[in-house]
Structure 1
Amino acid sequence: MKVQLLVTKTDFSVPNIEREFRHLGIGYQVDYLEDHPDLVARHNIRHSPNILIDGEMAFRYHPTETELKKFFFENKLRH
C-alpha cells in the first residue's frame, strides 16, 4: 500500500500528521504540491493536506488519529 501525504511546503499540520502515522505504524511519503503540479491537476487539489492511498484520494483534510485507525485498520479487517 502506497500512502502519500500531499502538502504545501508551508503546511503547519505536517508534523502532527507524521506523528499520527508513526504512532499507528503506517508507512508514508511526503510529496509537496509545489513540486507536483500533475497531482494537483489530476486530483483537483485546492488546499493542504491531502492523503492518497494507492493513487486514490482518501482524505482532503487532516484526519484525526481515530479516523486514520478506522480507515487503515477497521475497514481492512472487513475485506
Structure 2
Amino acid sequence: MHVQLLVTHTDFCLHNLQRELDNVGIQYQIDYIEDNPQQVNAYHIRHSPNIFIEGKLVFRYQPSPAELKTLIAEEN
C-alpha cells in the first residue's frame, strides 16, 4: 500500500500523525505542498495534512487512530 502524506513545511501535527501511522504499522512518504503545486491544484488542497493512498485522496485532515485502523482493515 503506497501512502503519501502531503503536508506543509510548518504543519504542527505532522509528528503526531507520523507517530500514529508508525503505531499501526503504515509506511508512508512525506511530500510538501509547497513543492507540489500541480497536486495542490488538481485536488483543490487548502489545508494540511492530506493523505493519499495509491494516488487517491482519502483524508483532508488528521485521521483518528480508529480511522487509521479501519483503513488498514479495508486495505487488507
Length-normalised TM-score, structure 1:
0.91
Aligned residues: CA RMSD: 0.9
The equivalent of 1:76 in structure 2 is 75
Aligned residue for 1:67, secondary structure, equals helix
Identity of aligned residues (%): 51
> For the residues of structure 1 that align with 2:75 and 2:55, how far apart are their CA atoms?
17
Q: Match for 2:66: what amino acid?
A: T
Aligned residue for 2:30, secondary structure, equals strand
The equivalent of 1:14 in structure 2 is 14
Aligned pairs, how many?
76
Length-normalised TM-score, structure 2:
0.94
The equivalent of 1:28 in structure 2 is 28
The equivalent of 1:2 in structure 2 is 2
Deviating above 2 A after TM superposition, structure 1's stretches of 4 or more consecutive aligned residues are none
Segments of structure 2 that go 5 or more residues without pairing to the other structure are none
Segments of structure 1 that go 5 or more residues without pairing to the other structure are none
Aligned residue for 1:22, secondary structure, equals helix
CA-to-aligned-CA distance 1:26-51 (integer Å, 9 cap, x gap): 00000000000011011110100000
> For the residues of structure 2 that align with 1:76 and 1:39, how far apart are their CA atoms?
23
> For the residues of structure 2 that align with 1:41 and 1:55, how far apart are their CA atoms?
15
